[in-house]
């Protein structure tokens, strides 16, 4: 059975987005579970590199473990959210017993302390989870996976909208312009030819191509032309994920004062 690596990676990343919700009650156990899982995955991949011939069986096992892990995450996230809500309610109830100016000052102080704590935990969890994600995906990256992600990139090129194609072609100013194609691993000449063919169709001319290996993109393809960049890479996906989680954490850190 052919594994849809894009879907598998998306599932892993989706999990990591949710993990930032974990608070002090489940924070360490969940990170331990993630760490154990990472070690198991690395061990499985190492075994495969040392002589496993049945790659299909290993992929099916990997998908099954991901399925089990995904089934457990929903309950853990719910418990974490409930714990945070319970703690917030406890703090609010305590604040409600205060009176006058002292009551209001104490209320504001507790809320600020709580929100600062939640923000700190969220930011720390976010950083550590994204670091684990990046390391795990880097360990999973291989030449075989690179070929699959390159094939997906070609499909995305063929499915580009007219306005996207227009922006790309406008960046091509002359026939001497070089198109930089970066991948995490060296790809076959066949895939290079396919990329040239698809991009030439978009440009309407035969371009000049420079193929470069950039391990830091982890997996995928990055196309650059006169400052215009078109990419489908794990690195770019994680960077976008980091920005999105940071913005969400920032918004959720705003204190909510309930009037009584």
Per the prediction, the chain carries an average pLDDT of 72
The domains of the chain are located at 5-140, 144-232
Confidence tier at 259 by pLDDT (50, 70, 90): very low
Q: Are strands 208-213 and 178-183 parallel, antiparallel or unpaired?
A: parallel
CA distances from 134 to 39, 141, 205 (A): 14, 11, 37
Q: What is the pLDDT of residue 130?
A: 45
Q: Which of 146, 147, 135 is nearest to 219 (CA)?
A: 146
pTM of the model: 0.42
pLDDT higher than threshold 60 for residue 200: yes
Confidence tier at 227 by pLDDT (50, 70, 90): confident
pLDDT higher than threshold 70 for residue 30: no
pLDDT higher than threshold 70 for residue 83: yes
Q: Which of 112, 118, 113, 111 is nearest to 80 (CA)?
A: 118
Q: What is the pLDDT of residue 248?
A: 64
Confidence tier at 29 by pLDDT (50, 70, 90): low
Q: What is the pLDDT of residue 181?
A: 92
Q: What is the pLDDT of residue 21?
A: 58
pLDDT higher than threshold 80 for residue 153: yes
User: What is the Cα–Cα distance from 133 to 126, expressed in whole angstroms?
Assistant: 10
Average pLDDT over residues 213-242: 77
Q: Which two tokens stand for residue 52?
A: 């496993």
Q: Which of 132, 125, 124 is nearest to 13 (CA)?
A: 132
Q: Which of 5, 137, 15, 136 is nearest to 59 (CA)?
A: 5
Average pLDDT over residues 17-30: 59
Confidence tier at 250 by pLDDT (50, 70, 90): low
Q: What is the pLDDT of residues 186-196, one digit of tens each?
A: 888 988 999 99
């Amino acid at each position: 059975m052919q594994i849809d690596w894009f879907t598998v990676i998306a599932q892993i990343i989706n999990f990591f987005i949710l993990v930032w919700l974990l608070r002090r009650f489940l924070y360490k156990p969940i990170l331990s579970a993630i760490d154990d899982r990472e070690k198991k995955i690395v061990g499985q991949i190492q075994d495969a590199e040392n002589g496993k011939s049945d790659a299909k069986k290993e992929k099916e096992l990997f998908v099954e473990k991901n399925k089990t892990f995904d089934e457990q995450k929903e309950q853990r996230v719910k418990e974490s959210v409930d714990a945070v809500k319970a703690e917030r309610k406890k703090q609010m109830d305590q604040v409600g017993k205060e009176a006058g100016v002292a009551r209001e000052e104490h209320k504001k102080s507790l809320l600020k302390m709580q929100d600062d704590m939640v923000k700190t935990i969220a930011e720390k969890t976010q950083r550590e989870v994204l670091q684990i994600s990046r390391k795990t995906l880097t360990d999973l990256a291989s030449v075989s996976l690179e070929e699959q992600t390159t094939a997906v990139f070609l499909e995305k090129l063929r499915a580009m909208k007219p306005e996207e194609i227009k922006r790309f072609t406008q960046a091509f100013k002359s026939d001497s312009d070089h198109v930089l194609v970066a991948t995490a691993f060296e790809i076959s000449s066949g895939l290079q030819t396919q990329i040239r063919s698809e991009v030439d169709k978009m440009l309407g001319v035969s371009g000049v191509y420079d193929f470069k290996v950039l391990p830091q993109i982890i997996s995928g393809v990055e196309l650059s032309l006169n400052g215009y960049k078109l990419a489908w890479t794990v690195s770019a996906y994680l960077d976008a994920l980091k920005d999105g989680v940071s913005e969400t954490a920032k918004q959720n850190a705003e204190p909510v004062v309930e009037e009584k």
